[in-house]
Structure 1
Amino acid sequence: MAGLTDLANELLYGIFDFLPNSDVKNIRLTCRFLYTVTPLTLSRVFISPFKRDLEVLRSVANHPVFSQQITEIVWDDRRLHLDEATHIEIAQFYDTGVCNVQSVFGHLEQVDESRYVDRRRASLQKALIGLYGHMGEWERAHHLLLRLYDEQQSVLESCEDVETFRFALQAFPRLRRVTIADNCLKKCVEWRRYSTPLMRSLPSWLLKPWPCSILGNGNVCYIAGPTLRGYYAAVRELSRSSRTVSEFIMEPSCRGVDLINDLNIFNSSKEDFIFLIMRNNLTSLEYTLDGYVRLHPTWPWNDIPKSILRMTLSCAQALEHFALNTTVEPCRSRLLHSPVPLLDILPMERWRVLRTFSLRCFVLTLDDFILFLSALPATITSLEFHMVMFFSTKWEEVLYYLRDIVGWGSDPNLPLPTLTVSLRLEYSSSQIVILRDELKLFFERKAPNPFTTLCRPGFESQGSGVTDDSVLPGFGRVVDDFDAI
């Protein structure tokens, strides 16, 4: 400890800036000197349909120090939704170790509804009392869930979350980033991505799974998915506010904008997004599209939505970082339609200072991919392709084409952008392999092509099967979480 106290305050500040608040809190408890020189910091506040998060935001806004530190507002679109039957089954399983309760049908409400049905409220409590004669620990848990559900519905009906966001835009002078998130990710059993004030106030056993408890195959929440309430409200308020931001992030876990319906000519949300782009000198933009349009009978996208999206994005000429995501991971057995050329929707000629680009869950053709790469500005330093699939070729062939035909890596005086590619491992649906350094060595002819192909059984219409992209053993970094990339 004496060694730390001998360091200059400036050096201590530099060290502690890299630590999360949880570590800083522990350090502050060690001695009075460190308590004095390690002030807590806050960088983000949260909007959600729960009053605790909204009250904390207003408290931070009224704090003379913390209000000056906030740079990001995260709109958490996760909702509480209850399935009575599954709650009963889970309750019995935890109490008895078996799960043989007959389902009690009926749901309180789906996630995107703003009304709730009072007559359903008591059915869960009555069923539990009938099973056990008392409710025990689960009585407290379900009372809490029902209270939170009522609170959520009250906030949604009164638009208190929207009003708080409008207030927050003016309350934090250093605000530069707005993030739309779905804190539930893809599976209700996963840990939350953000530790919101509400999450920190709940008992840990209630957080995993997040108590929507609509669990099916693989513990995936099928009944209620993420909404676009946060996106629509944030875009509308930003398009009309005198306050500007430089970063707008729509995370891949969000539901995604329907390019067909949300970007037609007569659409208020489309107009709000256009005004947001025009009013804010964005340097960072991440946008998520509804991936189910690939399975839509009107595929391919018609020219009007594509033109509107391209025209809108062309207004963001100061972009340094851009990411485009879709919400559905492509499957080669369902590639029934031709992909949309990237240059039909991305105005690369207007993004002359772009440094980093990311694409997630898209289907491309090799020709379109090469045209896109040739249109990149000279400022580009990083390219990321996550769950990207090619329509009539494989990543193994694409890499050979880039190196041997296009000439990537042939000029040692011309540095290549850092290329990152991630794919789902065939043998595990939950694991992702990420390749970066291996690709650089391949283009420098210092390592073999890390990609290969793998044939798996397919439907009868697919003949001998489906040939998927794969990675040679020992290459890449394997992660267990899709959202870790």
Structure 2
Amino acid sequence: MRSPNPATSDSPRQSTSAFLLPPKIVQRIVDLAPNSSIKNLRLTCRYYSQKAALRLDRVFISANPRNVEVFTAIAEHSVFRAQITEIIWDDALLYVRRVPDADEYASSDEEYEDETDEDGEWDKYGINWRGKVPGWFRKACRENVSDMRFYCGVDVDRPSLIARAQQLAEQMPMEEAWAYYQKLLEQQRDVLNSKAHINALEKHVGSFPELQRITITAATHGRLYNPLYETPMIRAFPCGFNHYIPRCWPVPNGIIPECDPWDEDGSDWQGFRVVTRLLAEGRDLGRVTDLCVDAHELEMGLNSRVFERENRTLHDFEAVLKRPNFTHLQLDLMVDPDSEQVDVLSSGLLRRALAGGRGLEYLSFRTCMEICRRSDSEDFHVPLRTIFTPTSHPRLQHFGIAHLYVKQDDVLALLTSMPKTLRSVELSTIRCIDGKSSYQTLLWAIRDKLGWAERDPRPTLTISTELQNIMPGRAVWLDDELYDFLYQGGRNPFGDDETTKDANDIDYGFGWEEDSFEPDHERPHVDLDDLADMGYVRRLVNRSGGNRTTVRPVRSCIYSTWK
């Protein structure tokens, strides 16, 4: 009799060495593979279909039919849906502009003519930008490539950079990319008109027994060939697909808009309106405990004017915060680039909404406010007491603010009034506007006046600041260095000398530079010579006094708890 085929037999172990591996070894191997590889492995035979488990803990929903299809399939799968703990609403809508008439297509863009070489087709990087596509589309694609090279800088090659460079080398011709983009736009219009994504969430938000968190973000597409999340829609992109990357609520990238009056209809901030309504109605069966409105360090967020006057979405949001089991809120707001934002944030409605979250254990609040040295900074200052009421959060364990103009005494008063349950604090990209106050003086005051050293456990402090050459998504982070300063007699990362020229800049040798879209970018905050010695970047010029090779340091995160 013919021996059983190991690909179909219920007992394949007897005939093929690949099936003789113990299940624990198989699982160790699978743990190192991406989900796409695991899916292919599961298709090879019944054995691996049973032993190679997919890593599924999140599911995506957006105005795209592929995302809706996969969301629905997982929600209706008895095994997969039980693994889901997070739903991510991708709120980034593809940019729509009128399709030009035939004579309005541009074969080139005057702005980039100087980069085209003599044959009139290829630029200096070997990319052919010609083709019958709208000028705005080609311009966006070229800016994507420029941004990609800007963020790469002089870094040495690493796997993620090599993979992106390979996609760039295989970039689709412009006309093919534009045709695919139009197809995506048509699909988006169909979903928005049918509300298929909203209907799917309404029907299935209660189908996930382990659901804890819903995240709403417009940062999903990240950067060229480097998305924040590989949603089913993004995974289906052809290799080398370059396009207008949606990054903002609700305008094109590179623009910080004024916040329009809050609109209860339309597609802008649809995710927040839909999610808060469903949670307020209890469609999730009371399971969701965390809500994250995540700008992911980009200059965007939820339209702050939702807190300007009474409206239905505000009331739904308040109802969500009042749920007895609701514990975690991340709220990233887009604010006006002028002093009118102060009136909105000080209206009292934001404060009322946050105060309703009496069960909150985690509260993070961030704006897209540009923080810099300016003569009119007082006009942009919002007293913290007009937003936060610490006595309303008796169980609070983490508190964080970012991108705000503050007064040092206000910060100290707020932290003093926090409950004893507080375990961690984040104060990122803030600027003290009172007198000579700065990050340097604020740290001295926190160490000397709050009495944190006598607590058990001692609260941890995290701070991030933008790079001096601002690159959205990148920042320098301090955590263990601050613990060392606050409790172990360490140095102040902003300088120990009161005459420090800029006491809001982190000294070299303290902190780590991180990129919110590239985890493998992490490196010590040191100068380029030191980074070259450590092997992070290419050396452009020889170091004065001679080059040297240094072992890369290993980052310790002994005391940080929430980040």
Q: Same fold (TM over 0.5)?
A: yes
Aligned with residue 471 of structure 1, among 501, 506, 523: 506
Q: What residue number does 2:535 align with?
A: none
Cα gap change, 1:399/1:320 in structure 2, threshold over 3 Å: closer, same or farther? same
Distance in structure 1 (CA, Å) of the matches to 2:508 and 2:370: 23
Q: What residue number does 1:43 align with?
A: 57
Aligned with residue 361 of structure 2, among 317, 320, 336: 320
Distance in structure 2 (CA, Å) of the matches to 1:249 and 1:86: 41
Structure 1 or 2: more helix by fraction: 1
Residues 1:176 and 2:212 aligned together: yes
Aligned with residue 443 of structure 1, among 486, 492, 516: 486
Measured against aligned partners, the alpha-carbon deviations of 1:324-358 in whole angstroms (never above 9, x if no partner) come to 11123322225242522223222311212211222
Aligned with residue 276 of structure 1, among 308, 320, 326: 320
Q: What residue number does 1:146 align with?
A: 182
Give yes or no for contact 1:262–1:270 (8 Å, CA) kept in 2.
yes
RMSD: 4.1
Count of aligned pairs: 433
Measured against aligned partners, the alpha-carbon deviations of 1:177-205 in whole angstroms (never above 9, x if no partner) come to 111011356x7547221110010011231
Q: What residue number does 2:195 align with?
A: 159
Paired residue secondary structure (1:432): strand
Unaligned runs of 5+ in 2: 1-16, 124-128, 138-171, 259-266, 520-562
Deviates more, 1:337-346 or 1:19-28: 19-28
Distance in structure 2 (CA, Å) of the matches to 1:101 and 1:38: 45
Deviates more, 1:136-145 or 1:150-159: 136-145
Residues 1:381 and 2:423 aligned together: yes
Q: What residue number does 1:222 align with?
A: 255
Cα deviation, residue 262, structure 1: 1.7
Cα gap change, 1:355/1:405 in structure 2, threshold over 3 Å: closer, same or farther? closer
Cα gap change, 1:352/1:181 in structure 2, threshold over 3 Å: closer, same or farther? same
Distance in structure 2 (CA, Å) of the matches to 1:296 and 1:330: 13
Give yes or no for contact 1:82–1:213 (8 Å, CA) kept in 2.
no
The one-letter code sitting in structure 2 at the alignment partner of 1:48 is S
Distance in structure 2 (CA, Å) of the matches to 1:350 and 1:155: 41
Cα gap change, 1:64/1:137 in structure 2, threshold over 3 Å: closer, same or farther? same
TM-score, scaled to structure 2: 0.66
Distance in structure 2 (CA, Å) of the matches to 1:172 and 1:164: 13
Identity over the aligned pairs, expressed in percent?
Answer: 27
Q: What residue number does 2:301 align with?
A: 256
Give yes or no for contact 2:106–2:134 (8 Å, CA) kept in 1.
no
Distance in structure 1 (CA, Å) of the matches to 2:243 and 2:324: 38
Cα gap change, 1:87/1:388 in structure 2, threshold over 3 Å: closer, same or farther? farther
Paired residue secondary structure (1:316): coil
Measured against aligned partners, the alpha-carbon deviations of 1:201-254 in whole angstroms (never above 9, x if no partner) come to 112311x5555699xxxx944399994121112112222234221111110248
The one-letter code sitting in structure 2 at the alignment partner of 1:228 is W
Distance in structure 2 (CA, Å) of the matches to 1:223 and 1:212: 14
Aligned with residue 191 of structure 1, among 196, 218, 226: 226
Distance in structure 2 (CA, Å) of the matches to 1:212 and 1:345: 31
Paired residue secondary structure (2:427): strand
Cα gap change, 1:328/1:483 in structure 2, threshold over 3 Å: closer, same or farther? farther
Give yes or no for contact 2:92–2:247 (8 Å, CA) kept in 1.
no
Give yes or no for contact 1:387–1:424 (8 Å, CA) kept in 2.
yes
Distance in structure 1 (CA, Å) of the matches to 2:27 and 2:136: 55
Measured against aligned partners, the alpha-carbon deviations of 1:276-317 in whole angstroms (never above 9, x if no partner) come to 223463111111222326x234734475x32x2222222222
Q: What residue number does 1:60 align with?
A: 74
Q: What residue number does 1:344 align with?
A: 386
Distance in structure 2 (CA, Å) of the matches to 1:155 and 1:246: 28
Give yes or no for contact 1:47–1:73 (8 Å, CA) kept in 2.
yes
Report 1:299-310 matches (<5 A).
299-301=342-344, 303=346, 305-306=347-348, 308-310=349-351
Aligned with residue 247 of structure 1, among 263, 272, 290: 290
Residues 1:204 and 2:257 aligned together: no
Distance in structure 2 (CA, Å) of the matches to 1:337 and 1:213: 29
Deviates more, 1:341-350 or 1:243-252: 341-350
Cα deviation, residue 20, structure 1: 5.5
Q: What residue number does 2:448 align with?
A: 404
Deviates more, 1:350-359 or 1:187-196: 187-196
Q: What residue number does 1:114 align with?
A: none
Q: What residue number does 1:133 align with?
A: none
Distance in structure 2 (CA, Å) of the matches to 1:320 and 1:338: 29
Give yes or no for contact 1:338–1:391 (8 Å, CA) kept in 2.
no
Cα gap change, 1:8/1:164 in structure 2, threshold over 3 Å: closer, same or farther? closer
Cα gap change, 1:353/1:203 in structure 2, threshold over 3 Å: closer, same or farther? same
The one-letter code sitting in structure 2 at the alignment partner of 1:332 is R
Give yes or no for contact 2:42–2:49 (8 Å, CA) kept in 1.
yes
TM-score, scaled to structure 1: 0.76
Cα gap change, 1:436/1:71 in structure 2, threshold over 3 Å: closer, same or farther? same
Cα gap change, 1:62/1:353 in structure 2, threshold over 3 Å: closer, same or farther? same
Distance in structure 2 (CA, Å) of the matches to 1:439 and 1:325: 21
Paired residue secondary structure (1:354): coil
Cα gap change, 1:19/1:421 in structure 2, threshold over 3 Å: closer, same or farther? farther
Cα gap change, 1:276/1:332 in structure 2, threshold over 3 Å: closer, same or farther? same
